[in-house]
């Protein structure tokens, strides 16, 4: 009994379908949970010796992914299709950007049901995807990571291949190496939004050598406009990086690596928007001042 429990504990835990689609590497077989609803079909349609006929009816989740046309992360939804599969099947799934309705993401998947007693789980293999994961890194994010761009892309490739420890290690080095530049960009964006006190505190904390020590020194609340999904991205990065690699298996490190990448991407987009808003405001003020000067003459 204890040996069985120990074996179960060592077995890889199923991933959610949204995580599998957005981060799993090509050719890797994984158990996916929350993917299907199983219900009986007419036994006369399909007969398989020793197998109770079952039908897999898919519930495809919406995905938050980079859209090159929108130049930022947007929600994608699965395009209509027949998503009912018996036993094993290869299929193409097309996702469309809900914002511009122009960008399409295509997945080639092999889906199989090997255990009818396990509800809402199935075996997934990502045969391919287009555009590939390497092609969906936003330019804003690459600007944020600066000189460590190639190291970040190495981390992305490791994440794509399912190498969690490697991906986490690359991303952690990028954040530590680019600590000063990342915090300076946050301070600049906060100042553009009119939060001068917060910007000053961030720059003071930036004197610390390590990222974690710098974040610990920031006591003020991050401006709402710079939050990612309602959370402070600096605190989320601090939490993920503080976990380290000790006593963590590859799957856990893969999850932390994905969190670091997604938070950096969201932060880069919000910093860019803050700067754009400031530029628009300055332009509008400049036009008003010119009009006022013209009327005064």
Alpha-carbon distance values, 257 to 130, 236, 265 (Å): 22, 12, 12
If one counts every other C-beta atom within 10 angstroms of the C-beta of residue 234, the result is: 23
pLDDT in tens, 225-252: 899 888 999 999 998 888 766 667 888 8
How is residue 11 annotated by DSSP? S
Q: Is the pLDDT of residue 285 over 70?
A: no
Burial 57-82 (b: 16+ CB within 10 A, else e): ebebbebebbbeeeebbbebebeeee
Alpha-carbon distance values, 135 to 62, 67, 130, 142, 259 (Å): 20, 10, 9, 12, 19
Alpha-carbon distance values, 263 to 53, 204, 209, 229, 233 (Å): 43, 23, 21, 9, 6
Q: Is the pLDDT of residue 92 over 70?
A: yes
Q: How far apart are CA 54 and CA 52, in angstroms?
A: 6
Share of the chain above pLDDT 70, in %: 73
Domain residue limits, the chain: 2-133, 170-287
How is residue 245 annotated by DSSP? S
Q: Is the pLDDT of residue 203 over 70?
A: yes
Average the pLDDT over 269-279 and give the result: 79
pLDDT at 199: 94
pLDDT at 31: 85
Q: Which two tokens stand for residue 150?
A: 């190639």
Share of the chain above pLDDT 90, in %: 36
pLDDT in tens, 153-180: 999 888 887 888 999 999 999 999 999 9
If one counts every other C-beta atom within 10 angstroms of the C-beta of residue 216, the result is: 12
| pTM of the shown model | 0.60
Burial 242-274 (b: 16+ CB within 10 A, else e): ebeeeebeeebbbbbbbbbbbbbbbbbbbbbbb
H/E stretch holding 58 reads strand 55-58
Q: Is the pLDDT of residue 278 over 80?
A: no
Query: 159: closest CA among 41, 262, 24, 34?
Result: 24
Q: Under 8 Å CB-to-CB from 236, ≥6 apart: which residues?
A: 228, 259, 263
pLDDT at 121: 78
pLDDT at 247: 61
Q: How confident is the model at residue 6 (pLDDT cuts 50, 70, 90)?
A: very low
**Residue 8: φ, ψ to 5°:** -65, -35
pLDDT at 42: 47
pLDDT in tens, 15-71: 888 888 887 878 878 888 876 655 544 444 444 444 444 555 667 889 988 888 887
Q: How far apart are CA 52 and CA 98, in angstroms?
A: 39
pLDDT in tens, 114-125: 655 566 778 889
């Amino acid at each position: 009994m204890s040996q069985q429990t120990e074996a179960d504990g060592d077995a890889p835990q199923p991933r959610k379908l949204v995580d599998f689609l957005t981060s799993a590497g090509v050719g890797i077989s994984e158990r996916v949970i929350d993917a299907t609803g199983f219900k009986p079909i007419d036994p006369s349609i399909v007969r398989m010796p020793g197998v109770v006929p079952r039908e897999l009816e898919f519930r495809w989740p919406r995905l938050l992914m980079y859209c090159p046309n929108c130049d930022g992360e947007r929600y994608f939804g699965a395009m209509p299709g027949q998503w009912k599969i018996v036993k094993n099947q290869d299929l193409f799934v097309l996702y469309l950007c809900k914002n511009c309705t122009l960008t399409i993401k295509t997945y080639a998947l092999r889906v199989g049901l090997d255990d009818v007693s396990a509800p809402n789980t199935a075996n997934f293999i990502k045969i391919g995807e287009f555009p590939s994961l390497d092609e969906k890194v936003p330019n804003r994010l690459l600007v944020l990571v600066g000189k460590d761009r190639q190291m970040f892309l190495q981390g992305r490739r490791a994440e794509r291949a399912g190498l969690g420890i490697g991906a986490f290690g690359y991303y952690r080095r990028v954040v530590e190496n680019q600590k000063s530049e990342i915090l300076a960009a946050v301070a600049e964006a906060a100042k553009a939004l009119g939060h001068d006190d917060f910007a000053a505190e961030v720059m003071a904390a930036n004197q610390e050598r390590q990222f974690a020590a710098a974040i610990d020194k920031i006591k003020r609340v991050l401006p709402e406009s710079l939050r990612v999904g309602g959370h402070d991205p600096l605190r989320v990065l601090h939490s993920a990086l503080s976990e380290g690699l000790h006593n963590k298996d590859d799957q856990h490190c893969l999850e932390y690596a994905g969190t670091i990448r997604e938070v950096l991407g969201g932060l880069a987009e919000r910093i860019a928007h803050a700067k754009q808003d400031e530029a628009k405001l300055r332009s509008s003020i400049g036009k008003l001042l010119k009009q006022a000067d013209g009327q005064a003459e």
